[in-house]
Amino acid sequence: MIDFWRSSVGKKNIVAVTGAILIGYLILHMLGNLNSAFGPGAQEPRVDWYAHWLRDFGEPLLPHGFVVWAVRVILLGAIVTHITGIVQLTKRNKAARPANFPARRIGRSVESIAMLGTGALLLAFIVFHILQFTTLSIHVTPVEHGEVYANLYWVFQKWFFLAIYLVALILLGSHLRHGIWSAFQTLGLDSPSRNAKLRHGATALTVVLVVGFAAVPVLFFTDVLDPPHTTALLTSLSGAFS
């Protein structure tokens, strides 16, 4: 395994497989988020029920929150390995290039530079996003632990948060479309007869993810989804009248 990681082909394969793990997470995350589209519900919003269900999953056989933490560990491992592989491959490619060879001479390098740029910005977005919705450290609107629907509702009342998420999703779309296609090539799935289908497949999966993610902030911002009936709402109302 260590020899595989040391070789450039091995690194490329590991970058492709860790990318696939991250895409798997994104698909599940997007589907989970779409529970918000069911609105605040009569008793508990469906997205809150889903978030609690994830944390209770496997009890009493597994400890509370086991699945959530297992996914976090896998995600962190995949992100660190993905980035380390890319950084090492980029350094190797640079070292192998003749001195003074302009990177922009070859189209592939321009795409690689774009992948590095969108990747770095996505990493910054993920840190911001976790601080906003997991640790609830960034908030200019009311937030409550365990009240996912209310937190989403209040955050996406603000146009600047909507704008940040839409820009992040455009970056994600650009990164994914090229990344999925590169992964197909690295894993040897490409062939002249299949390439057109694979390219369309990469575009289709990217569009589904970007539109699926964008739907939730847009539905909240445009008030298609009703306000939550929760403590966060009471907090905000009491703030408005005090």
Q: Contact residues for ligand HEM (CB under 6 A)?
A: 29, 33, 51, 68, 72, 75, 122, 126, 129-130, 133-134, 148, 152, 165, 172, 213, 216-217
Q: Report in angstroms the alpha-carbon separations of 163 from 20, 31, 79, 138, 155.
A: 27, 21, 25, 16, 11
Q: How many residues does the chain have?
A: 242
* Two structure tokens written together for 160: 């600047």
Residue nearer to ligand HEM on the CB measure, 67 or 97: 67
CB of 147 to ligand HEM, least distance (A): 10
Residue nearer to ligand HEM on the CB measure, 75 or 116: 75
CB of 164 to ligand HEM, least distance (A): 9
Residue nearer to ligand HEM on the CB measure, 14 or 122: 122
Cα separation, 19 vs 81, whole angstroms: 10
Rg (C-alpha) for the chain, rounded Å, is: 21
CB of 62 to ligand HEM, least distance (A): 16
CB of 226 to ligand HEM, least distance (A): 17
Q: What angle do CA 184, 190, 196 make, to 5 degrees?
A: 100
Residue nearer to ligand HEM on the CB measure, 72 or 92: 72
Task: Give Cβ neighbours of residue 143 (< 8 Å, ≥ 6 apart).
Answer: 136, 150, 151, 154, 232
CB of 43 to ligand HEM, least distance (A): 18
CB of 75 to ligand HEM, least distance (A): 6
CB of 148 to ligand HEM, least distance (A): 5
Residue nearer to ligand HEM on the CB measure, 72 or 139: 72
Residue nearer to ligand HEM on the CB measure, 85 or 217: 217
Residue nearer to ligand HEM on the CB measure, 106 or 131: 131
* Chain position carrying tokens 């600047």: 160
